[in-house]
Amino acid sequence: MRILVTGAAGFIGYSLSRRLLIEDNQVFGVDNLDGYYNIQLKESRLARLNVHKNFQFKRLDIADRDSMAHLFETQPFDQVVHLAAQAGVRYSIQNPYAYADSNLTGFIHVLEGCRQNNVAHLVYASSSSVYGATYRTPFVAGDNTDHPLSLYAATKKANELMAHAYSHLYQLPTTGLRFFTVYGPWGRPDMAYFRFVDAIVKDRPIHVYNHGRMRRDFTYIDDVVEAVVRVLVRPPQCTNNASAHSSAPYKVYNIGSCNPVDLVNFIEMLEVALGKTAEKIMLPIQPGDVQTTCADVSDLVDDINFKPKTSLSVGIENFVDWYHNHYAARPAA
């Protein structure tokens, strides 16, 4: 298969690209190497992908309409995995235009590229953030998601609506993946677990929001990649089933462990793995944050016979080992 991976220098994009290359697929990666976090980490990921003969890379901004159209016109793709986006709940409050450019304008360019060039399946990143003010847990894919708590969440909800319109109008098979707090080696430095580890190692205090009264459904990167790979080869079909949410070739899955952990307990697990105690600064909840996330993954189990299974303790140990090895002789990103 020849597969386009947008955001190939990002955390999930890099990890997925490596897996696809190992399985002898041809991967064409694009990324704009945005400076939202230190690009040194992105460049290190790319360096590991560039050793593969079946990997091609182009530095490209998905918000650039002409460049995206040229990409699809000149490069035939069987499937597309769209992971490029402006991430971060809190940053969306500070810089909303970045989210409009990347997450909305960029996504329509991907949809048009797929439509105009007969791509067999578009898989794209959504987020658990779309559940917003939904307080019933676990979150079920069919739950109402009309009350986002951040602009980031609103753009991801918009992506799902845009994808459905294209699935309905043009019979383009699309699958949205609502990722739940993805973590692990080569992860994003803006994520809480990464910031906590970095601060504890360097004897800096950590900021604990909502005084630690938060719960998160953590999902290990290898489990996320396994889910994406399985979903990718199973494009949704049109259906006339009255009980289905849509007759279009459209699907949305939760990608989570369905095992939320208290933030305080999570920090304790980091302290054990690092052999150090964190100095904690307790703070109120931040705008846009939700208190609890928990994924119902019954659809994932039913359709692709998979449920994330890596224990949090193992995942944390793997990340801490990677952190020590990667930053042993270089500054933190």
CA distances, 195 to each of 72, 183, 202 (Å): 37, 12, 11
Q: Three-state SS for 207?
A: strand
Cα separation of 134 and 131, whole Å? 5
Tokens at residue 264, please?
A: 């305080």
CA 262 centroid distance within chain? 21
Catalytic residue among 152, 209, 220, 253: 152
Tokens at residue 36, please?
A: 């939202």
Cα separation of 299 and 289, whole Å? 26
What are the φ/ψ torsions at residue 151 (nearest 5 degrees)?
-65, -35
Q: Among 323, 307, 215, which residue's Cα sits nearest to residue 274?
A: 323
Torsion region of 27: left, alpha or beta (phi above 0 gives left; psi -120 to 50 gives alpha): beta
Question: Are 82 and 6 a contacting pair, CB within 8 Å?
Answer: yes
Cα separation of 28 and 80, whole Å? 10
Per the annotation, the verdict on 152 as an active-site residue is yes
- The length of the chain, given as a count of residues: 333
Strands (E), the chain: 2-6, 26-31, 55-59, 79-82, 121-127, 174-179, 182-183, 206-209, 215-216, 219-220, 250-255, 261-262, 280-283
Burial of 26 (0-12, 13-18, 19+ CB in 10 A): middle
Rg (CA), the chain: 19
Q: Which residues are designated catalytic?
A: 152
